[in-house]
Amino acid sequence: MTQTWKYLIQTADGLAGQFGADCEAAVCDLIEYAPEKSIVYIVNGHVTNRKPGDGPSAQILADLKRENYLPKDRLGLLNSTPDGRLLKSSVLYIRNEKSTRIDYLLTIHHDITALSAVSQSLECLVAPYARDSESSVTASAPPNVNTFLDSLIRQSEKLIGKPAALMNKEEKIRAIRFLSESGAFLITRSGEKVSRFFGISKFTLYSYMDTSGRK
């Protein structure tokens, strides 16, 4: 066990202790193990449902496999789990002291779903009054089609006032009605992304769309 490895284990424990059960910290050993099986230590693995012997995220694996590419640390990136929880994530690439080879990874995934809900509630309290709230939500939608769906999904959460993972059935139906009326489902493969984001099947999504269409 190298001194660097010991330090990373200590750091992972410290991060999890500081931020609590919603913060996952994992150490990947790229010296002894293939990237896909490189997690050797993990705290609060329930955040991403990973365990020792698993690998880091698909994006990190893709970076590691690129030839003649030196990946840079990724800090504070927002992403979501398949069931719609919001994560704030970082990865630190720990290089060999004598070369550019990456020996270890320290990955951090903080589930900020509940914090996001609190933030959105506070925003609703301090926001100016709008007579037509749904119209005001859509006003800032970007013209770029590649980001349009992501923007609409974020706006649907803002409209409801909580992350998708905390919405009940009626709230999800209302959010999906907003997406439908905003043209989200005119985008190719949008149904697949929306159903994954809200943690429902495509069949359930179509059922919610039908329900919202009758209201």
What is the model's pLDDT at position 137?
47
Could you tell me the residue ranges of all domains in the chain? Answer: 3-111, 130-213
pLDDT in tens, 200-211: 988 899 888 887
Question: In whole angstroms, what is the distance from residue 209 CA to residue 215 CA?
Answer: 10
Q: Extract the tokens encoding 97.
A: 């002291």
pLDDT in tens, 121-150: 666 666 665 555 444 444 444 445 557 788
**What CATH class does 3-111 carry?**
alpha beta
Q: Please state the rounded mean pLDDT for residues 50-71.
A: 86
Question: In whole angstroms, what is the distance from residue 39 CA to residue 56 CA?
Answer: 7
Q: Are 195 and 189 in contact (CB under 8 A)?
A: no
